[in-house]
Chains A and B, each alone.
Chain A
């Protein structure tokens, strides 16, 4: 899947040639080597990391809220990022030319998206101190999401067509923006997320009986809940910052893993979601490239096209969703 993804694109490069370039042996075609190493390889790697990161966040939120509709974005994180980017892209147009130039740079967008999701995360954490009820946090997250998207729609009403277009492109999601340095950052954050997930593994299984039971089995539920939200915030937040909002992956992959392995045991689910998440994300990315053509589909749309029917299919096939 990995190699197939790399070999396909607007310029088709044979599987064999791709393998040769990846393994570092004599290149057949210098421009192919450049395309693969500087463009397609980072994109395939980021597909894997994005797939893994979103799946982990999604699983954590589903376990925390004990709700099959929870995903990495239930806390309102992607809306926060969207608001950050919208403010930057559309707001800077109103503020003057200096800022507008800055707004065009890639890091400004990443920064704005990170700030956006991070401030939503802080807001959610602040409410965590006040309310003990998990369901309340879920509702607050949804309300924050509606609130921020309302601001975005007001902004887009007053903005110029050009700026609006830039925002819309960001919101379509793309892995093409990540270079090797970004990958390094994402890799570090992903490893940190997986590490904390490993630390939480046993406690997550206790959560499957509900928070009361988890506490009675010796789990410090307050700290565990805190860590789950921090990991989700960092992973989903950084991914959205780099690649834009990517729908359905975080929601679908944990369900797919649960049904395929007929288990909710996190010791089984962790390797399962990492594998399935990578594969599905590579598949979506390959489809988005529309191999052989020079068009590229919005990644966010492709993941929805694939994700939504999968969820419906799972429910129809199994009659009773294992959750």
Chain B
């Protein structure tokens, strides 16, 4: 399945902050979004999720515009992991992950056997089964992130969008999350799109890379980015340079 955007202008209250000629995201692909602070990474994710109206252009899933989806149908296509939401401390980990099944349950939210199996699978994939009965706010940041990814996985959508999933994590837990994203993309055939400031890791693990640079959004394969000169100009050159030999950004 494909998540596509054509001539997409993104921004708030009529003011465009960036423009993409064409984006094409596929299931089974891991896509990273990079760009400096304030370049519009979160705005792009929100727009793709359908939480923010595009200024111009159109987003479609499987050739159907997301405007034509009902909210409940869209919830079966895309799930998200946000970095800013304030989550109630009065819910247990299991309750939160079960909420992921909402698009599929009846008005009373009763879980069928299938629902329970999918929840159980998500819990096992993210290795949070020993946290099931804990309250969310008693968890460490790394655990919280795993729980929220498990919730998104339980929603069982072809696409998962994550806004800076490793921001508050130390290096070890960052690598845990990145590893999980890569595994889920391959094993569960998901299309995972995430924004991050960890450019070097993104270059290592992603298939596709979306770069937001000076109000323009480009998408190419990681290979393509590495071969060209495009990455050299991403940051002002006074402090950081791109080292082609090691495929790493380095401090000068």
**Hey, which bits of chain A sit against chain B, CB under 8 A?**
66, 199, 201-202, 205-206, 208-210, 212-213, 215-220, 258, 262-265, 267, 320, 322-323
Contacts and interface: CB of A to CB of B under 8 A. Distances in A.
Interface residues of B, number: 33
Contact of B100 (A201, A217, A219, A262): A217
A319 to B, nearest CB: 12
Contacts of A262: 90, 135
Interface string B199-225: 000000000000000000000000000
Mostly, the B contact residues are loop
B115 interface: no
Mostly, the A contact residues are loop
B85 A213 contact: yes
A258 to B, nearest CB: 6
A209 B80 contact: no
Interface of B: 49, 51, 71-76, 78-80, 82, 84-91, 95-96, 99-100, 102-103, 105, 107-109, 135, 137, 155
Given A217-B75, A267-B109, A210 B86 contact: yes
| Most-contacted residue by chain A among B49, B71, B95, B135 (CB, 10 A) | B71
14 contacts: A201-B108, A202-B105, A210-B87, A213-B80, A213-B82, A213-B87, A216-B79, A216-B80, A218-B73, A262-B90, A263-B90, A264-B88, A265-B90, A323-B88
Contacts of B79: 216-217
A208 B87 contact: yes
A269 B102 CA distance: 19
Contact of A219 (B49, B85, B102, B108): B102
Given A212-B80, A265-B91, A265-B95, A217 B86 contact: no
Give the 4 A-B residue pairs with the shortest CB-CB distance, closest first. A264-B90, A218-B75, A210-B85, A202-B109
A218 B82 contact: no
A206 to B, nearest CB: 6
B85 A209 contact: yes
Nearest to B75: A218
A66 B108 CA distance: 22
